[in-house]
Structure 1
Amino acid sequence: MLRGVFALPAPVKRLIVGNPVRRDGQELALDVQFLLLMMRLEGERRLAGGTVDAARRGLARGQAYLAKVPARPVKTRKVDAGGVPARLYEPKGLKDGSPLLVFYHGGGWVIGDLDTHDGVCRYLAVHAEVRVLSVDYRLAPEHPYPAASEDALVAYEYAVANAAELGADPQAIAVGGDSAGGNLAAVVGVMAERTPDFALLFYPATDMSVRRRSRELFGEGFYLTDDDMVWFSDRYCPEERRADPAVSPLLAEDLGGFPPTYLATAGFDPLRDEGEAFAERLKEAGVPVALRRQEDLLHGFANMWPLGGRFREAVSEAAGALRTGLYAGPRSKT
């Protein structure tokens, strides 16, 4: 029903939502404005806040509304990635020796799991022609920093060491993720002994030590709020450790060894400026990086691809960048 509502003609949706939303020289996509209205009508639900269990149930419920799989079948199986639970996605007909994406789900290091990000993993697997290993890292507050970053690194190292068993090319292994998962992928890119071959970062959290302008501009009314970010941060990492590179990879001393990167930010996202600052530091370090601001979208757009329109366009672009980066990029590592 939700997807049917989004299929309404644009003039009808504009009549329903009213005037366009403009901020910082950007105009919010009509579909995003429509989605925010529907969320308000359902009842103002915060992404975080309250109890941890309630926040986790809320994200799972929201993703259930968006459940949809690509037309091409994808089989899955459980993997023990060096003691870290994971799920391997293999599109039908994909030959052995394909590239592999090690994916870390978002959710502020506190919520989210393999199921909340099942749809985006399937989409990337099919449209980038890759296997995807989705990592079920430990969550805070039960397992605060550095548990998530440790699990992220262990799972990546497992993938490198066991690529053949996973049906993958050991010389074409990417890391990727959204939000907190993008943070973990960036941490692996900084810390891994064997540098990944590519990084796919959706609106990553890259610096927990300071507040940037986008957090003030978009900290209320655009899905991820400033209060949410405080709630997540307080449960994940104590303030005195937030400048650690394994929490804030933007602050790493040397980014010269980071892999080629596609980094997508959202225009109406509190995390926008720190993601773009990370891309700028990569460029300064000589790393090939494609920064793409999806200026009319908001935080979380990767999981919203089943709604079509601009959501799907943005994720399709990212999948194309991943496919190009892994199939056309360097195929050897020292």
Structure 2
Amino acid sequence: MQIPETPPNETARLLMLHSLQILDTIPEERFDRLTRMTKRFFDVPIAVISLVDANRQWFKSCFGLSASETPRDISFCGHAILRDDVFIIPDALEDPRFADNPLVTGEPNIRFYAGCPLRIANSINVGTLCIIDNKPRSFNANDGKLLCDLADKVVDEFRVHRISTIDELTHISNKRGFLQIGNTTLKFCIDHSLAAFLVFIDLDNFKRINTAYGNAEGDRMLEEFAATLKVSFRGSDLIGRLGGEMFVVLVIGEDKENTDQFIHKVAEDIRVRYQNTDRPYIVEFSYDTVEVRRDRHASLDQVIAERDALMQTQKVAIR
């Protein structure tokens, strides 16, 4: 039996998977409807929405199987997420990678498998929409297109789930989304012994600028500042808007010195962005970096509350 290889972007992939806040949730009709459709369209006994976690594949929706998860090292989906296209096994008994797999030699006696990766932003495959049969079968290009179309519908449902956690103006996480995703990410950091820092950022004089030049200009300033944060930090860092002119960034896997370097990059990017404009104001901000400690902080909510109590003594201004 061949054990699935680990994707080169595994850390980012797991962060994205956990940020969806779907693992270990109760069954939902919007997902079950899609697996029912998939099962009917292909006339197979088993159809599954499978999410590939660190050591398991967990089934968000499953028709034809009694299990809710299986080990990742024996999963077919662990192989499927390594690909950009549909992963097809016409007859598992004839494939040396799977012939002695316990899912082939025992229940559910897999012979045929086809799985389309569930791809989120930046080409990250978090799982598959897959179909399984206990007898060999063929699978043509039209079949593959239909399975991919259905997989796209699954990903659309993931996006709908995330919309309620996105700030409408800046298109970054709102407070609710930041805490949902951030607390899951924090658990991941603790489990993998990764350092984590929260960077709190406040735009200086925002209310004065908003009053003097209008709400439209204030909104424009907030949008551009959020865009600067996204390019100044890394894709693996979580950026959120706590409300008003207050932003926060969860930086993982770096020490405080490197974390502060990201902030100085923000300041430089802001200076460059505005140096050749006719804006009648200067964009300035203040920031505060707090280490998230596993022996002290049970959640990001606790860190935010702690910071709010101490912000007057720990704030550092950039001009």
**TM-score interval (norm. to shorter):** under 0.3
Give the structure with higher Rg (CA). 2
Q: Greater relative contact order: 1 or 2 (C-alpha under 8 angstroms, separation 6 or more)? A: 1
